Amino acid sequence: MTPQTRRAIGALGFALAPALVLAAWTIGAGAFFAWTLDPDERALLMRWLAPRAAMLLFLGLLLALALGLVARAAWERRIAAPARLAERAQALLAGAAEGEIEPDGSAQNRALASAFNALVRQRGEMRADIERRVRDASREIERQRSRLAALMTELAQSVVVCNLDGRILLYNHRALEQFRGRSDAPAPHGGSALIGLGRSIHEVFDPALIAHALQTIRLRMQRGDEHPSAQFLTTARGGMLLRAHMVPVRDADDTQSASSESSTTKFGGYLLMLEDVTEPFADASLRDRTMHELIEGTRASLGNLQAAVEMIDYPDVDDATRERLRAVIRDEVHRMGARLHDAAARDVQAQKTRWPLEDMAGADLLAAVRERIESSLHCRVDADAVDAALWLKVDSFSLLQALVHLAARLVDEYAVRVLRLRLAPAGARAHLDLVWQGLALSTETVTAWETDSMRSGPLSSSLTVRDVLERHDGEIWYQRDRARHESLFRLLLPIPDASTAHAQREPGAGARGAADSARPAASSDARGPQESRPEYYDFDLFRDAGPTRALADRALAELTCTVFDTETTGLDPSRGDRIVQIGAARIVAGKLRRNECFERLVDPQRAVSAASVAIHGLDAAMLAGQPSIAQVLPLFHAFARDSVLVGHNAAFDMRFLREAEAEAGVVFDQPVLDTLLLSAHVHPQQPSHSLEALAARLGVALSGRHSALGDALVTAEIFLKLVPLLEARGVRTLQQALDAAQQTWHARLRY
């Protein structure tokens, strides 16, 4: 039975109640009157009433119905309308809604609403004035916050700040990418579940290791060390080897004496500077192993050589033995040469691996080469048109030095005055040509130019053109085009993979992940304009009580929540309907973290009903090839770890999650809050508690409607608006919210 049907039945019952009361009173009064009459009078009365009974009954029903309607109207005007006015006023006072109260009910009620609206406008003007003054006063603070955000975002060092409970208060983009790239979680989830505001660093590091480092810092602080720190080397998820440097974050408001022991060891958290040493450690291990093999092998060979040399000069050695000794010497010399050659090859390969290559637009490289040659050699350089989409993976400085070196040899030794640069794709590589007219070079000249040390720049003492190309894993050759009377040096250079080049052409694209490319257009605006500056820090968490209180007793404003929504193939999971999309956002310390979102498409492995496609726009073509629910649900389970689930009409979404738990091998056992039930508790007189009605009532903008992430973000903002309204009604903790939700009649709905 729908809420509208229940409301209609309730209104009809309210209208008929006076009729029933009037009928009962009439029957009782008539019976008492008849009891006072003697038999003859009673018989006379019955003869008079008998033919008129139907008319009297009809008139009585009309009178009762009229009285019921009048009572209903009076109830609406005198009781229900003031109650709705009180609910709306409470929302405005708590700051959970905007706008004015629409006058409703009696004239007195309308006058009260008008007076309240005047007060709201007056308060709005006062708030605007206060906000303007606060904004002016905090402008410098905001500049400092912006500088911190920019510094944290661009800092090359991985930085994570935690409170003493291990909850992450700050992290930068470098740390996020480091753990995403090394996490053992399936793609495209990466490490997004490992690093996030309010999450525990103990998901990354052994808690005992953190505790030991903290104890080391405390001991050093007790000894009077002004700059205490601790360092440790450990492995993290995915086999990553990390070197961590820990320093304490001291309490700035410590008012105790500096000489007291408790003051010298007091701090509110710690900062971790992390360095991924996985590859350097592997390189160092390889070099050590190579050196050990070279030393041990050389030692054995030298021993054999020494023994053979000493024996070969003995006068009593026969010719056959002497020949065997010469063979031993030849073999050992050959083995030593092979070992040295192998060690040299490994060293060259290691140098190539360590050579830093960066993505660079081909047009930018050609512009830099052209400017350098023209300014230093005073010759003309023409550059052919280059596709703006063509990117190279190069060390631009050393490559520029190599091209300038070749150009200088042409200008100085053969007086070439005009050069031309060309760049074109060549499959998985790119061709960069240095072209000149007429003059042909001999093979000996080309070889000498390629192998001579470069004469210009700081690399002149060590590198050749071939060295530069080898470290790019590229090639260089000389080519003659007799038909055009052209000669050229052609350099074969690497290019980035497609995803990296795309990220370079569209800044920020790489951070959005693979799921965004499959997202329906309806959800493209779900994150809103605030996402332009991701929040990587929240120092308010220093004041968080952490896990010292039981979850049920924690205040709603202190909860870490995962607000989620699902889109499905239909409405009945018992008949095989499945999830096609899951979207979620996190609320930490009373703030919506828009940059810590979860959104995945799911292949339901069954048809999607036309009615559902019309709502969420996800058809079979968009879902084909997406991960199954058995792959996606564990990722969502990890994302929602150690948090309270929040949804709108959450019973519906939880039914679908429960149906998939066995298949995915996970269990969602955390508490669940429903914004529909919480709204029904806060505003019991309101006619509707749909997502649209709540958004309109609480002043939340609807965006990305009927996409999982879009609805989750709207639900999160609604939940944050409901928290102060719940507190005003005495609902302050999680347990109180769960109890209040179960007291509403909406909680009796089952799916």
Q: Is the Cβ–Cβ distance between 423 and 432 less than 8 Å?
A: yes
**Which token pair is 211?**
């505790």
What's the chain's Rg over C-alpha atoms? Answer: 40
Q: Report helix, strand or coil for 453.
A: strand
Please list, in sequence order, all residues whose beta carbon lies within 8 angstroms of the beta carbon of residue 446, skipping any fewer than 6 positions away: 478
Residues 631 and 189: their CA atoms lie apart, in Å, by 11
Q: Can you tell me whether residue 98 is helix, strand or coil?
A: coil
CB-based contacts of 405-413 (< 8 A; 24+ apart in sequence): 405/449, 405/454, 405/455, 405/456, 405/465, 406/434, 406/449, 406/465, 406/489, 407/373, 407/377, 407/379, 407/381, 407/434, 408/376, 408/377, 408/455, 408/456, 409/449, 410/436, 410/439, 411/377, 411/379
C-alpha 181/C-alpha 513 separation (Å) is 12
Nearest to 177 by CA among 510, 584, 519, 497: 510
The whole-angstrom separation of Cα 699 and Cα 687 is: 17
Residues 664 and 448: their CA atoms lie apart, in Å, by 65
**Helix (H) / strand (E) containing 74:** helix 53-75
Burial of 72 from C-beta contacts in 10 A (0-12 / 13-18 / 19+): middle
Q: How are beta strands 486-494 and 475-481 bridged, if at all?
A: antiparallel
Distance CA 535, CA 171 (A): 9
Q: Indicate the SS3 state at residue 390.
A: coil
Beta bridge partners of 276: 242
Q: Tell which residue, 556, 737, 709, 719, has the closest CA to residue 639.
A: 709
Residue of 485, 648, 706, 746 marked catalytic: 706
Q: Which two tokens stand for residue 700?
A: 């939340």
Cβ atoms of residues 38 and 44 within 8 Å: no
485 included as an active-site residue: no
Q: How many CB atoms lie within 10 A of CB 368?
A: 16
Q: Which two tokens stand for residue 373?
A: 């040659």
Which own/partner contact pairs does 77-83 have at CB distance under 8 Å and 24+ positions apart? 77/105, 77/106, 77/109, 78/105, 78/106, 80/105, 80/685, 81/105, 81/106, 81/109, 82/109, 82/112, 83/685
Task: Report which secondary-structure segment, H or E, holds 580.
Answer: strand 579-588
DSSP-derived secondary structure for 688-730: --SHHHHHHHHTPPP-STTSHHHHHHHHHHHHHHHHHHHHHTT
What is the C-alpha separation between 148 and 456, in angstroms, rounded?
41
Token output for 545: 């009580």
Q: What is the 3-state secondary structure (H, E, C) of 667-692?
A: CCCCCEEEHHHHHHHHCCCCCCCCHH
Beta carbons of 326 and 441 less than 8 angstroms apart: no
Instruction: Check if the beta carbon of residue 454 is closer than 8 Å to that of residue 407.
Output: no
Query: CA–CA separation, 512 vs 516, rounded Å?
Result: 6
Residue 155: strand, helix, or coil? coil
Q: Which residue(s) pair with 275 in the sheet?
A: 243
3-state secondary structure 228-259: CCEEEEEECHHHCEEEEEEEEEECCCCCCCCC
Q: What are the residue numbers of the active site?
A: 706
